[in-house]
Amino acid sequence: MEEVVAARGYSFEIILSNSFFKPTFSNGILRSPRILFELDAKYGVFGDSLAGLLLSPLEYIDPSISGLVDSYRSSVVAEEAIGIKSMLGLLSTIISVKPELYIISRMVKLSELYGAIYSNILERRGLEALSYARKLIGLGKPRRLYSRFYKIVSSSLAHKMELSDLIREYRLLDAPRGLVRSVSLSESLDNIRIAELHTGDSIECTRLSILYSVYKCVGSRGTVIVKDYRVSSTKWIPAFLASAPTVRYRVDYRERALAELIYTKLIGRIIRTPEIIALHLGRASTIAVKEHIHGSPLVEESNPRYWSIAGRALAKIHLANYSLGDANPSNFIVDDSIALVDLEQARRASIREKAWDIVTVIAYSHLLGLKSGLLESMLKTYSDTLGEDTRILAREFKKIKYWIPYTIMPYMLPVALSILRRVGLLE
């Protein structure tokens, strides 16, 4: 049986043979038939359980293996890039990915075999050990037969590697400064575990609504809001249908997370908004950890002064050509002043989106049973602050499309039109 040492790493050797036998991995030595090793590297037929060592820095003893290594690494980068970009969705337009992440992502999947070897490499040389990934973007193609579930060898070098921890340590994902402090990626996400990362142990989480997955979590290091965008996706389907004649509500959870990141920052220049502390991305959901703003929802406040402050803030938002999309008065938080939370439907605004904000403010206020005097205080201040644009908006409200949703609650339509006339928003 002719055996050849094909390559060496820091703590392992790869020995290939022209004979046929079951591959083994023991004492840092991988022995494999050459044909099986090549099948795994080229097609992934053994879930990279043989070829996975090629992700490590290598010394080539057999020069003929170098082409196989380059081809394998290129395929891994292509395969992981597809998965990660799918997880990011539109978030990929603002979140930058270091190429080394694609290699580390595959290492994490193989950590039950070679985790100790991979961890040792990263401890010795850090990301520089994987710098080859920078040259492989766009060069490889996914392998058709790759299966991460079929392992042909076993190993005593298993060592758990947490992708989210490695992303934080090496800053493998990054967003523009000011949008979010940290970005993480994980196969699966758990609200409680994520809350513990930011608030410490002994946490207590309370769900704030049955319609969407938003939790207030209190721990030893403080209080945060944990928001799972995927869980609340179905909430927006009826809203999407109802608003179709005027605006398009976002349903996709990644679109909504992206909007919240961007517009929390932009609208935060006009009115206080909560800082987004972290964004955790998974294969089936996106979770944001946000600053908790102390106070009570505007809808619980009976002082007209706060409603006027909210109206002035909404007018300034519209004058800056933004809209809220979901202009629920409950999203205004009253403390010493006014803050605004929940901006996943915010957007750049034309007159159409601005008019829709006012329609939804009125609808929410009626559905919540609020006193009309409070709503009028808000809308009167809004109208006064808007200035010359009030006349443009008043003409817009004559269009039937804004009132189509009221066909399911026709008794509210005369009341809504009456309020708009009294505050000067309808001619």
Task: Give 256-270 pLDDT, tens digit per residue.
Answer: 898 999 999 999 999
- Which carries the bigger pLDDT value, residue 143 or residue 270? 270
pLDDT number for residue 348:
94
How far is 370 from 412, CA to CA, in rounded Å?
A: 13
Residue 367 confidence class, pLDDT cut points 50, 70, 90: confident
How far is 49 from 51, CA to CA, in rounded Å?
A: 6
Residue 180 confidence class, pLDDT cut points 50, 70, 90: confident
Least confident piece of the model among 27-41, 183-197, 279-293, 383-397: 183-197
Three-state SS sequence of the chain = CCEEEEEECCCCEEEEECCCCCCEEECCEEEEEHHHHHHHHHHCCCCCCCHHHHHCCCEECCHHHHHHHHHHHHHHHHHHHHHHHHHHHHHHHCCEECCHHHHHHHHHHCHHHHHHHHHHHHHHHHHHHHHHHHHCCCCCCCCCCCCCCCCCCCCCCCCCCCHHHHHHHHCCEECCCCCCCEEEECCCCCHHHHHHHHHCCCCEEEECCCCCEEEEEEECCEEEEEEECCCCHHHHHHHHHHCCCCCCCCCCHHHHHHHHHHHHHHHCCCCECCCEEEEEECCCCEEEEEECCCCEEHHHCCCHHHHHHHHHHHHHHHHCCEECCCCCHHHEEECCCEEECCCCCCEECCHHHHHHHHHHHHHHHHHCCCCHHHHHHHHHHHHHHHCCHHHHHHHHCCCHHHHHHHHHCHHHHHHHHHHHHHCCCCC
Burial 306-337 (b: 16+ CB within 10 A, else e): bbbbbbbbbbbbbeeebbbbbbbbbbbbbeee
pLDDT mean over 83-110: 90
pLDDT mean over 49-75: 93
Q: pTM of the entire structure?
A: 0.78
Q: Do domains 175-292 and 295-427 have the same CATH topology?
A: no
Least confident piece of the model among 233-242, 364-373, 374-383: 233-242
pLDDT number for residue 235:
57
Least confident piece of the model among 39-53, 126-140, 336-350, 360-374: 360-374
pLDDT number for residue 427:
77
pLDDT mean over 359-385: 88
Q: Look-up: residue for tokens 């991995």? A: 25
pLDDT mean over 393-419: 81
Residue 253 has pLDDT above 70, yes or no: yes
In the chain, the percentage of residues whose pLDDT exceeds 70 is 93
pLDDT number for residue 202:
67
Task: Give domain 175-292's CATH architecture.
Answer: 2-Layer Sandwich (3.30)
pLDDT number for residue 142:
86
Residue 237 has pLDDT above 70, yes or no: no
Residue 379 confidence class, pLDDT cut points 50, 70, 90: very high
pLDDT number for residue 206:
86
- Which carries the bigger pLDDT value, residue 403 or residue 110? 110
In the chain, the percentage of residues whose pLDDT exceeds 90 is 48
Nearest to 419 by CA among 384, 376, 370: 376
Residue 282 confidence class, pLDDT cut points 50, 70, 90: confident
CATH pick for 295-427 out of 1.10.10.10, 3.40.50.2000, 3.55.40.20, 1.10.510.10: 1.10.510.10
pLDDT number for residue 242:
57
How far is 335 from 211, CA to CA, in rounded Å?
A: 25
- Phi (first) and psi of residue 108, to 5 degrees: -60, -40
Q: Are 346 and 328 in contact (CB under 8 A)?
A: no
pLDDT number for residue 124:
92
| Domain layout of the chain by residue ranges | 3-166, 175-292, 295-427
Residue 200's alpha-carbon distances to 77, 101, 227, 383, in angstroms, are 35, 27, 18, 46
Residue 74 has pLDDT above 90, yes or no: yes
Neighbours of 85 (CB within 10 A): 12
- What are the beta bridge partners of residue 213? 228
